[in-house]
């Protein structure tokens, strides 16, 4: 250990660090995971859930490449939901509630199962640098550990400062110490750093809640899962519950505004726009007299409950008083108050596409340290850093995903080209080619790549190839097989779709809006084909999407081309974006401030999405 | 919560705090458990094991009274052993290895299951005191929480200072913050405090060990368990392993002695005599060229391993180098180094038998804060403090266990009458009436008491009464039933015991040294009685002990009387104990220093055991 040289040292055992260590170790690098507390590996700092819109796609991509987050989530899930099922499949987004303790335990055991991964519990206080190259880390006890590359995944721990009302104290997470030394050294090396903040809601005692006045939010009747491998499917699930704030709640919260570190200037750094604190919501959307609160269980057995939507750093007495005015929370008991945390991050424009720093060779940054927010964003960066560190150690080519290949590609490209001034989270709208970047085809897109670099196992590739082969042949079957009016018209009739007069290709009928795979399966030829070829649910889903979605894909590609051609369109000087209500709020704010000269420049502004650009193009008459 | 007044507030969620909260809550007090981190409730700070000599008896006593430690241990056990099975049953001591994560999780879930127990995560920084009475606590965020009584169970956290080699930093346990404020306030109130220290060995990666050169230490073939209730019995177990240090190991360790905080004066406080660090052992027993090391798994699945016997605060490079010279550890990888910790304690002579402080009404201390060491000692004090706090709130009589009723009685009586200048741990030798205080009869001794005060449930009482009834009647059966020579002589012959010539009472034959219950069961009358009365293993064991042990009990009582009569014997002035080698090392050291004037005084000196007193009496010709 202390004598030995590692291939890769990963600093930090959060989502980024765990994926980084798993990737490097699984690919064959001698890897050391150094983290401040071995009992908090894979700890979920905030809500006990993985996935969600765009984030769920990322987890599927991680899994497709051979990462672990999907498997860990499946093993620890207590509820599964496919979000946006009513919209097109590009929007379908898997989300799971996890048992918080199980999630962390599964991560720990999964990492222990990788022979190449060693563990060491201590705070890293600095890097070993020689000739502009990272060659290891220095621990707070003064131990030097050498390695060919180092990945920093310090999350919210670097000079972390916790705020509750007028109180503030050092910490990386409630009850955990902050990490010091690394920022200071990186600044000396010429890096630029900044401060960001994030917050978390109170945890409460589920026994003190009145669920009968809230709306149950059950999981899907037929739950799916994240991993493309044979992970367990949920057979029972736990419900979440929905309740709302009211004007009364807001009034009580306002009583604490003068003592809020957010409003009295004590917190200067920027927080996540899309995970605002409840005080922020009240302030920014003064006309809204109610906000949603999702009541999420923290695990199978524990009574602890996560109050999603009530993130706050108001004084704890105000938090308590206000929460007691929420419907169903009249007798609530706190496990602990919410808080905000400020921490150092490093503007990610200092990185290459591989997440290696431009300044110091063989040094990689991944996760919240790059100004992102969210487990999934962190995990995917960790994975990519782990992969690239391994590849570089072995003098192999970089592994970079393009914007049309993966959300992960969009994420990293955004980070390193646009930077971010506020905690960056992924949205489907950030992706130009989101019709291509679906949760159902992450394996088709990425598993061959993951296999080629030596991360995804043969088993994955075989499963993916079988799915591809089978769904391709099923699509072909629809393209080639005709159906007679007397066979198909009863179906069309049942969905109020115009009847056909003569035989037509099944593909065409299937393409109609209201016709689903379930309808098609009523046709004997179709169900026969399914039986004969032993097609499973995944293949049916894939085929359905490929058939029904083919039109959208073409259209989207066309749009993308247009965007490219029109990229140099000039924008009039002093353009006032405020009136363009179809722009997102963020885009209006940012564009007004930055006043880009061309559409191209506008597109590069952080927070301005492809859909905003479309709006602008339309407005400018293109 | 913040408005409400609790009956009992328990500060700290270690073994003492968890038992205290469980007891008070289960008895009906509105109880709040405030602890710094809700994810570390029931955390085992040091080795992942419960029980052992004298300590196992304590766990059985806790269980018999209606406490939780036995149940939690049974649910999380990975190995069970009845120690000292070759000695008399007074020495039989149950011990279990636990899965560290499971143990903490089971505690947390068990506490959540008690409707009267609320939880709050924060550091308590002071007490609310009014008119010399504790009326609540103050949190570090400045929250006042009121209660009728407060139990402090701060463990090793009060101004905790961690040492590794020449490094030192604040902390209550590796990776956890120290607690501040409480000591300072108590000193102002007139309390006396002191400093103690304890240490822990490195944790290592089991994958890096060569078990083939160590000796397996399997659990019992037929594992028993701790709780008298129907907790699960182990069906599979994990092995521990035994290896040894050598002169080489000691030499390497000695290289670090000049940087040892123990030897260079940086640590001034006294550590646990019976859990010495490896450097201490080498120093104190310079003639021993080898010490045992028990290699203990930390759980069912984890590869983390606890190196029992290698507690150390030497610099981490020395720890590492030395451990690599231990047989089987040639390639060892560290998860984290060992360390020592210094912390504040309050000399327990400041307490009443109820563990309430003499200075401040309704304030109780329990656990390591009282200068004890060990989970079991802490848990039992927590239980007693929780019980007594509840009783006092309800204006009921104190609950005090006498020295001849329980090890718990011995423990608390020792603490509050003798005090302790070094971390106090329980030994069988500390008990005058240890023949009575057995692990097999803790239920018979204590469950009726636990039931009477409203802690033990009816179910416990019924099970205990049934066991008592059945074993009494079985003992009577042996007393009353005769056996013929032709029936019993084959048995006596098989154990080389003198044959009998005429019929005799079974009790007499059974009392012979080599005759066991298994032998007696070969007699048709006996096995018939067992079948007819449906006697289980526990009843058989109880009966066997009561029959075979009756002689010892009489003898011990006699001894105890002698001790009482002779208690005022004078000891010559300037007596030199050094030559009295049959005295324990500790006794010689202490008696030489204190030079007691009478045997009575000698007996009250902390660390001087009844057996030492017997030696002295013999020497003085009594
Ligand atoms: C209070 C809070 C609220 C949050 N709220 C939200 C939210 O609303 N929405 C959202 O999407 N995300 C939120 N997050 C962010 C989310 O938790 C992170 O995005 C995600 O956990 C980041 O993963 P990571 O691996 O980068 O870092 P982390 O999960 O923070 O893990 C960092 C790891 O590094 C270790 N470490 C740090 N420094 C050192 C060192 N010097 N030496 C050794 N080990 C070190 C730590 O012990 C830890 O294991 C919140 C986080 C916090 C703390
Ligand atoms: C490094 C180390 C080595 C040890 N080695 C041995 C050994 O070799 N042999 C042995 O028998 N025993 C050993 N022990 C002791 C054993 O761990 C303790 O005896 C036992 O855990 C004491 O239990 P407790 O409940 O009194 O305190 P702890 O288990 O220490 O629990 C204290 C609890 O109180 C909480 N807390 C403390 N202060 C506050 C506050 N102000 N506000 C809120 N919460 C607070 C903490 O978070 C923690 O949950 C060791 C302990 C340590 C730390």
Q: Is B289 annotated as a binding residue?
A: no
What are the pLDDT digits (tens) for B572-592?
888 999 988 889 988 998 888
Q: What angle do CA A562, A514, A217 make, to 5 degrees?
A: 95
Measured from the CB, is residue A391 less than 6 Å from ligand 1?
A: no
Q: What percent of chain B has pLDDT over 90?
A: 78
- Kindly determine whether residue A333 and residue B118, on different chains, have CB atoms separated by under 8 Å: yes
pLDDT of residue B351: 92
Distance CA B389, CA B395 (A): 10
Task: Give which of A3, A40, A141 to mutate to test B binding, by max B Cβ within 10 Å.
Answer: A141
Please give the structure tokens belonging to residue A509.
Answer: 């009928």
Distance CA A133, CA B76 (A): 47
Between strands B144-152 and B133-139, the pairing is antiparallel
Nearest CA to ligand 1 atom 44: A35
Q: Can you spell out the DSSP letters for B87-148? A: S-TTT-EEEEEE-HHHHHHHHHHHHHT-TTEEEEES-EEEEEEETTEEEEEEETT--EEEEE
Q: Give the mean pLDDT of B61-82.
A: 98
pLDDT of residue B601: 66
Which of A121, A203, A301 is facing B175, going by the closest CB pair?
A121
CA contacts within 13 A on the Cβ side of A267 = 33
Nearest to B553 by CA among B506, B614, B603, B511: B511
Low-confidence ranges of chain A (pLDDT < 70): 1-2, 560-568, 594, 601
* Helix, strand, coil percentages, rounded to 5, for chain B: 40, 20, 40
What are the pLDDT digits (tens) for B261-287?
888 888 888 888 878 999 999 999 989
CB distance A128 to A138 below 8 Å: yes
Residue B81: band (very low, low, confident or very high) from pLDDT cuts 50, 70, 90? very high
Which of A39, A142, A302 is facing B167, going by the closest CB pair?
A142
Residue A474, CA distances (Å) to A482, A506, A517 in order: 14, 11, 12
Nearest CA to ligand 1 atom 16: A374
Q: Give the mean pLDDT of B79-107.
A: 94
- Kindly determine whether residue B304 and residue A38, on different chains, have CB atoms separated by under 8 Å: yes
Nearest CA to ligand 2 atom 9: B374
pLDDT of residue A408: 98
CB distance A363 to A134 below 8 Å: yes
Please give the structure tokens belonging to residue B112.
Answer: 């959540």
Distance CA A460, CA A443 (A): 8
- Kindly determine whether residue A337 and residue B141, on different chains, have CB atoms separated by under 8 Å: yes
Distance CA A42, CA A17 (A): 8
* Cα–ligand 1 centroid distance for A137 (angstroms): 20
Q: Which chain B residues touch A141 with a CB distance below 8 Å?
A: 164-165, 167, 316, 337
Please give the structure tokens belonging to residue B616.
Answer: 């002295």
What are the pLDDT digits (tens) for B288-312?
999 999 999 999 999 999 999 999 9
Nearest to A348 by CA among A414, A256, A426, A430: A414
Would you say residue B563 has pLDDT above 70?
Answer: no
Which of B120, B175, B335 is facing A119, going by the closest CB pair?
B335
Q: Which residues pair with A35 in a beta bridge?
A: A121
Measured from the CB, is residue A312 less than 6 Å from ligand 1?
A: no
Q: Can you spell out the DSSP letters for B536-555? A: -HHHHHHHHHHHHTHHHHHH
Burial of B611 (0-12, 13-18, 19+ CB in 10 A): middle
CA distance B233 to chain A (A): 22
Q: Give the mean pLDDT of B41-46.
A: 94
Distance CA B50, CA B377 (A): 11
- At residue B249, the 3 state secondary structure works out as helix
Measured from the CB, is residue B378 less than 6 Å from ligand 2?
A: yes
Residue B48: band (very low, low, confident or very high) from pLDDT cuts 50, 70, 90? very high
Burial of A555 (0-12, 13-18, 19+ CB in 10 A): exposed
Q: What are phi and psi of A515, to 5 degrees?
A: -85, 125
**Ligand showing the shortest atom-to-Cα distance for residue A203:** 1
pLDDT of residue B314: 95
Mutate to test the pocket of ligand 2, among B368, B415, B422 (most ligand atoms within 8 A of CB): B368
Distance CA A112, CA A106 (A): 10
pLDDT of residue B565: 64
* Cα–ligand 1 centroid distance for A370 (angstroms): 11
pLDDT of residue A417: 78
Residue B528: band (very low, low, confident or very high) from pLDDT cuts 50, 70, 90? very high
Q: Give the mean pLDDT of B330-353.
A: 94
Nearest CA to ligand 1 atom 19: A374
- At residue B483, the 3 state secondary structure works out as strand
Would you say residue B606 has pLDDT above 80?
Answer: no
Q: Which chain A residues touch B301 with a CB distance below 8 Å?
A: 109, 112
pLDDT of residue B558: 77
CB burial of B144-166 (b: ≥16 within 10 Å; e: otherwise) equals ebbbbbbbbbbbbbbbbbbbbbe
pLDDT of residue A566: 60
Among all chains, which residue has been given the structure tokens 């679906």? A438
What are the pLDDT digits (tens) for B347-388?
998 999 899 999 999 999 999 999 999 999 999 999 999 999
Burial of B487 (0-12, 13-18, 19+ CB in 10 A): middle
Distance CA B334, CA A120 (A): 6
CB distance B370 to B354 below 8 Å: no
- At residue A469, the 3 state secondary structure works out as helix
Measured from the CB, is residue B439 less than 6 Å from ligand 2?
A: no
CB distance B59 to B442 below 8 Å: no
pLDDT of residue B555: 81
Query: What's chain B's average pLDDT?
Result: 93
Of A92-96, B170-174, B197-201, minimum mean pLDDT range: B170-174
pLDDT of residue B579: 86
Residues whose CB is less than 8 angstroms from the CB of residue A282 and which lie 6 or more positions away in sequence, other chains included:
A250, A253, A254, A291
Q: Which chain B residues touch A145 with a CB distance below 8 Å?
A: none
Q: What is the maximum span of chain A, computed from C-alpha positions, in angstroms?
A: 83
Would you say residue B567 has pLDDT above 60?
Answer: no
Please give the structure tokens belonging to residue B459.
Answer: 């179910």
Nearest to B386 by CA among B6, B26, B46: B26
Residue B451: band (very low, low, confident or very high) from pLDDT cuts 50, 70, 90? very high
CB distance A244 to A327 below 8 Å: yes
DSSP letter at B357?
B
pLDDT of residue A590: 80
């Amino acid at each position: 250990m202390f004598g030995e040289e590692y291939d890769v040292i990963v600093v930090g055992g959060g989502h980024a660090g765990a994926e980084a260590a798993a990737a490097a170790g699984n690919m064959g690098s001698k890897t050391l995971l150094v983290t401040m507390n071995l009992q908090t590996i894979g700890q979920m700092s905030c809500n006990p859930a993985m996935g969600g819109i765009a984030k769920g796609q990322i987890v599927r991509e991680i899994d497709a490449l051979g990462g672990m987050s999907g498997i860990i989530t499946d093993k620890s899930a207590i509820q599964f939901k496919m979000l946006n099922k009513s919209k097109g499949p590009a929007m379908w987004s898997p989300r799971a509630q996890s048992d918080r303790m199980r999630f962390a335990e599964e991560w720990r055991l999964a990492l222990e199962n990788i022979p190449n991964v060693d563990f060491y519990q201590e705070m890293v206080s600095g890097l070993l640098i020689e000739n502009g190259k990272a060659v290891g880390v220095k621990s707070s006890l003064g131990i030097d550990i050498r390695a060919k590359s180092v990945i920093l995944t310090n999350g919210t721990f670097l000079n972390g400062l916790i705020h509750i009302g007028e109180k503030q104290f050092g910490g990386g997470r409630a009850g955990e110490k902050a990490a010091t030394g690394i920022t200071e050294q990186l600044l000396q090396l010429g890096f630029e750093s900044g401060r960001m903040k994030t917050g978390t809601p109170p945890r409460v005692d589920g026994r003190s809640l009145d669920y009968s006045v809230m709306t149950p939010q059950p999981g899907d009747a037929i739950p799916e899962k994240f991993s493309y491998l044979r992970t367990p499917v949920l057979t029972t699930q736990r419900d979440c519950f929905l309740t709302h704030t009211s004007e009364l709640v807001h009034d009580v919260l306002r009583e604490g505004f003068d003592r809020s570190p957010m409003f009295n200037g004590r917190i200067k750094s920027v927080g996540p726009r899309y995970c605002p604190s409840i005080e922020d919501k009240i302030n920014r959307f003064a006309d809204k007299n109610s906000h949603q609160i999702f009541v999420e269980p923290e695990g199978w057995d524990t009574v602890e409950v996560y109050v999603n939507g009530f993130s706050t750093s108001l004084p704890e007495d105000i938090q308590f008083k206000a929460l007691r005015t929420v419907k169903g929370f009249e007798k609530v008991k706190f496990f602990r108050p919410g808080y905000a945390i400020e921490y150092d991050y490093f503007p990610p424009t200092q990185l290459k596409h591989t997440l290696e720093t431009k300044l110091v060779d063989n040094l990689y940054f991944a996760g919240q340290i790059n100004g992102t927010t969210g487990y999934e964003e962190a995990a995917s960066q960790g994975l990519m850093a782990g992969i690239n560190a391994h590849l570089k150690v072995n003098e192999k080519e970089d592994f970079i995903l393009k914007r049309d290949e993966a959300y992960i590609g969009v994420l990293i490209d955004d980070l390193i080209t646009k930077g971010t001034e506020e905690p960056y989270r992924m949205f489907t709208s950030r992706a130009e080619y989101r019709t291509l970047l679906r949760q159902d085809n992450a394996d088709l897109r990425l598993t061959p790549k993951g296999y080629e670099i030596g991360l995804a196992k043969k088993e994955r590739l075989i499963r993916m190839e079988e799915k591809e082969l089978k769904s391709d042949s099923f699509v072909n079957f629809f393209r080639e097989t005709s159906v007679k009016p007397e066979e198909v018209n009863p179906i069309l009739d049942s969905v109020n779709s115009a009847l056909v007069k003569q035989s037509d290709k099944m593909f065409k009928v299937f393409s109609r809006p209201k016709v689903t795979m379930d309808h098609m399966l009523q046709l004997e030829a179709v169900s026969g084909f399914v039986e004969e070829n032993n097609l499973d649910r995944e293949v049916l889903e894939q085929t359905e999407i490929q058939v029904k979605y083919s039109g959208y894909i073409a259209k989207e590609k066309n749009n993308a081309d247009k965007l490219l051609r029109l990229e140099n369109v000039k924008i009039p000087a002093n353009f006032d974006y405020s009136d363009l209500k179809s722009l997102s709020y963020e885009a209006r704010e940012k564009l007004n401030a930055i006043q880009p000269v061309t559409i191209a420049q506008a597109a590069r502004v952080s927070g301005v999405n492809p859909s905003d650009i479309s709006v602008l193009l339309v407005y400018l008459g293109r």
